[in-house]
Structure 1
Amino acid sequence: MLWNQKKNIQNYRNVIFTKASSSICDVVVKLLIPVGQVAFSASLLESGSGTLGPINAHTTLVFKHVVSNIGKAYSPHTGIFTAPVRGAYHFEFYVVALGGSHESRVVLVKNGEHIFIAGEHQTNGFGTAANGVTLLLEAGDVVSLRLWKNNVIYDDGAHYSTFSGHLLFPM
């Protein structure tokens, strides 16, 4: 198997050196460079329990308890996912609110643009909200979640509030 791959690469190199067409070179480069696998899942708090908010401004949420980060496209330091390649990506987010006077609303944002929101207002006990979306992203596009101003989000060791995403297929 490895010998066949080496032989195919040598054949592609021969094509590159014998053909001057940039379109052939582009196709060969795409064939030789594998597209990375991209997937992540994280919950809001690394440990302990607590409510974040209310804050008098929209606030990017940083999901610190990273369960998986294949391809390293999600940053647990900034809360931002950066698309490594052009493709179709799917994201899901789950929000938990602990009953009280404040609502819990979280917005999925692409390059600063509001895409979808999940929200809940629970006066007592726990309330949950969820949403998901499939987006066409260009390499370098950024996706994050924002806590809506004057809202709250809750998490604890059970990891209720989560953010996940993965590359469905490159384009």
Structure 2
Amino acid sequence: MRVVVGLLLLLLALCGSGAQGEGGGLGQVGEISEFQETAPRDAAEESTKQTTEQTTPDIWAEVRALRDMVVELKVFVELLQRENSDLQTRLSSSESELLLSKCRIDQLERENAVQATDLTSLGTRLTATESKSSDLEKENAVQATDLISLGTRLTATESKTSDLEKENADLQTRLSSSESELLLSKSRIDQLERENADLQTRLSSSESELLLSKSRIDQLERENADHETRLTATESKSSDLEKETADLQTRLSSSESELLLSKSRIDQLERENAERPKVAFYTALTDAGHVGPYSTDITLKYSKVFTNIGNAYNPATGFFTAPVKGVYYLQFSVCSNRTGYMGVYVYKNNQLIMFNDEGKEEVGLEYLTKSVVLELKAGDEIYLVLPSDYSLYDSPHNHNTFSGSLLFTL
């Protein structure tokens, strides 16, 4: 720019001197014609005219030449400015790529930190699983398969590293090209030399940062390789535990499903039980002691009622009346303290269902217990009858009992 300014000033000075030459020549001719009367006027006028005619075209030719030079200099300056703008753009691109490299380094450092955390967690798990190492030795075939898979992952990591190296080499080539262009630009204009020197400094700093980035990337890759090796050893030992965990999870899911089904069935049964009639009774004969013998059969009335759910047993008659159609379980116990016979008839309505008796030859308590399962309709009656000449014995200890319950409805 200083050269351009100097050329413009020179052009203005030449234009001014040309204008003064034209005016000055004419003034000199006037002065000669007025004050030099003794000199030959024709010779003086001729000489002045020739001088003026020769000087004026030369000045204007120089002015045009300088104007052309100024135009060429302007074009040249614009060209240099465009080249300088292109260099600025390329430098900005280099700086952007450098920022991307820094971001990649930060990402690798975060991934390394995550892997270190995972390694620590796996180390803890490894400590817990070392007690099972003897069983894991039998599964080397599975571990070989896992090692092949991890080898494939390692190959992918190496390929990724190769791509990073290629990107760094491309950045290096582009930076070298930028340095060459900056050196060429420095020789063409003085003002750009300072800017190019600044760019050179920034590019050198970028190269240093790229070298540091490559060194850091190499270090991270070595650390990642070491972590990968340790992770491989840990994963090979934890795979069996994961399989066992998956199997236990499957069995747990199956157990939970069965539990849900059981709960559903229990709920259904509880609803059915809540809706089903509840019938159960338990009675004892008397506290009076000996009952019988009588000359005729008599219906036994069990007067001591301990349980009578559903009120199906009537202590006044000794009858159990079925409230609903269903299957019933009935039981009775017989006791006597005299010699002779003891026993009872079991009737359903007027139909004899069972007769059990036993002869006693000695005095003392002796027992007889029986049970029966009957299908009864609503209204059917069950009762016990003491045969003639048979005797029983009861007391507050409840030796003679009659009980029953509804098993299920029909």
Paired residues, number: 137
Whose Rg is larger? 2
Gaps of 5+ in 1: 1-30
The structural deviation recorded for 1:55 is: 1.1
Q: Which has the higher contact order (CA 8 A, sep 6+)?
A: 1
| 1:84 to 2:348 alignment | no
* Alignment correspondent of 2:294: 55
Partner of 1:42: 283
CA distance in 1, matches of 2:371, 2:403: 9
Which has more strand, going by share of residues? 1
Write out the 4+ residue segments of structure 1 that deviate beyond 6 Å after TM superposition: none
Structure 1 residue 70 corresponds to structure 2 residue 309: yes
Correspondences of 1:1-171 after superposition (within 5 Å)? 34-45=275-286, 47=287, 49-100=288-339, 102-123=340-361, 124-171=363-410
CA–CA distance in structure 2, aligned partners of residues 109 and 56 of structure 1? 20
Q: Which amino acid aligns with 2:346?
A: L
* CA deviation profile, 1:10-50 (whole Å, cap 9, x unmatched): xxxxxxxxxxxxxxxxxxxxx9x9332000000001x3x41
Aligned counterparts of 2:351 and 2:317: Cα–Cα separation in 1: 17
Is the 1:117–1:131 contact (alpha carbons within 8 Å) kept by the matching residues of 2? no
Question: Which SS does the other structure have where 1:121 is aligned?
Answer: strand
Between stretches 120-129 and 52-61, larger displacement belongs to 120-129
Root-mean-square deviation (CA, aligned residues, Å) is 1.5
Give, as a single letter, the amino acid of the residue that structure 2 aligns with 1:147.
L
CA distance in 2, matches of 1:131, 1:149: 20
Contact in 2 for aligned 1:97/1:121 (Cα 8 Å): no
- Aligned amino acid, residue 111 of structure 1: N
CA distance in 2, matches of 1:41, 1:163: 6
Question: Which secondary structure state, in structure 2, belongs to the residue aligned with residue 36 of structure 1?
Answer: coil
After TM superposition, give the deviation of residue 113 of structure 1 in Å: 1.1
Gaps of 5+ in 2: 1-271
More helix by share: 2
TM-score (normalised: structure 1)? 0.76
In structure 1, how many angstroms separate the alpha carbons of the residues matched to 2:297 and 2:276? 34
Please state whether the residue corresponding to 1:57 is helix, strand or coil. coil
Partner secondary structure for residue 120 of structure 1? strand
Q: Give 1:95 shift.
A: 0.3
> What is the TM-score when the length of structure 2 is the normalising length?
0.32
